[in-house]
A = this chain, B = another copy of it.
Amino acid sequence: MDLWYTEQHSKYAQFSIKIDRQLASVKSDFQRIDVFESKGFGRILTLDGYLMVTEKDEFIYHDMITHIPMATNPNIRKVLVIGAGDGGTVRELLRYETIEHIDMVEIDEDVVKVCKEFLPFTACGLEDERVHLYFEDGLKFVRRKEGEYDLILVDSTDPFGPGEGLFTKEFYGNCYKALNETGILVNQHESVYYESYAVSMKRAHQRIKECFPIAKVYQAHIPTYPSGHWLFGFASKKYDPIQDLDTGRWNELGIKTKYYNTDLHIGAFALPNYVKEQLEDE
């Protein structure tokens, strides 16, 4: 059988993965959730047809959204995770003994249900007693919070559909308020290689820069995401991700990672000129 999952990365480019069979297809209140089995990439989760997680390379995204802020401030105790229904971000956070409390706010309970059943490799930590799950709009949840978190991770879908509000200035302002005086905000920042993404991410970066004294962008190689050149936004009230990185201290923790290391931490912030120009140009 010749069955292919295809995602449009732009009007002019598409990426396709050979599929063995479909494992689940759920129409939730918010989106369509599909899970596929494939030989080349293991299990695959898509939301509204957009690829979110593959078993083969999810470690790259989850390493990079988690370990960059955790290595920058080793005293992080209380974390808010928005989105991330697959559980991969929480799985990485739980590897730090210093973390006492994780609030995870996912708008779509069905995503978590599907991932618990079909993606145990990411969802494995969601039952941990340090994890507190809320099924509601992250936008509204964060509005009620003040000075409470050391770290907020925004592991959202793309800047259209259910995740749209997570790229607004109001949201970034509320994140600032919800963080304590040393707080860090990391959000997935799409890519700038294809024009449609570039415009929205330039805008998002400008909005974050207006809210936080430190606002940088870092990159990772994620082969199954559009262009494979994925960006993350690092915003912070106090800690600089390069100057305040204590490489020795992180390495002493003995956390084994498949993608992240402290040399790469520094290298990830060294963006190509054309990416810097796209982000700065307003």
Contact = CB atoms under 8 A, between A and B. Distances in A.
B223 A193 contact: yes
A270 B259 contact: no
Given A15-B13, A40-B13, A221-B219, A264 B270 contact: yes
A270 B261 contact: yes
Interface string A153-177: 0000000000000000000000000
Contacts of A59: 274
A67 to B, nearest CB: 11
A41 B193 CA distance: 11
B12 A13 contact: no
A263 interface: yes
Identical copies of this chain, number = 2
Nearest to A40: B12
A221 to B, nearest CB: 4
A216 interface: no
A258 interface: yes
Given A268-B267, A272-B60, A273-B259, A10 B228 contact: no
Contacts of A261: 270, 272-273
Contact of A221 (B11, B39, B229): B229
Interface in A41-64: 41, 57, 59-60
Contacts of A26: none
Nearest to A276: B261
B229 A258 contact: no
Of A4, A60, A223, A259, the most chain B CB neighbours within 10 A belong to: A223
A16 interface: yes
A260 interface: yes
Contacts of A228: 221, 223, 227-229
Contact of A40 (B11, B39, B229, B273): B11
Interface of A: 4, 10-18, 38-41, 57, 59-60, 193, 219, 221, 223, 227-229, 257-261, 263-264, 266-274
19 contacts: A4-B14, A12-B17, A12-B18, A12-B40, A13-B17, A14-B15, A16-B16, A57-B193, A59-B274, A193-B223, A221-B227, A221-B229, A223-B229, A228-B228, A258-B273, A261-B272, A266-B266, A267-B270, A268-B270
Given A15-B16, A59-B274, 9 more contacts: A4-B14, A11-B40, A12-B38, A12-B40, A13-B16, A13-B40, A16-B16, A193-B223, A267-B268
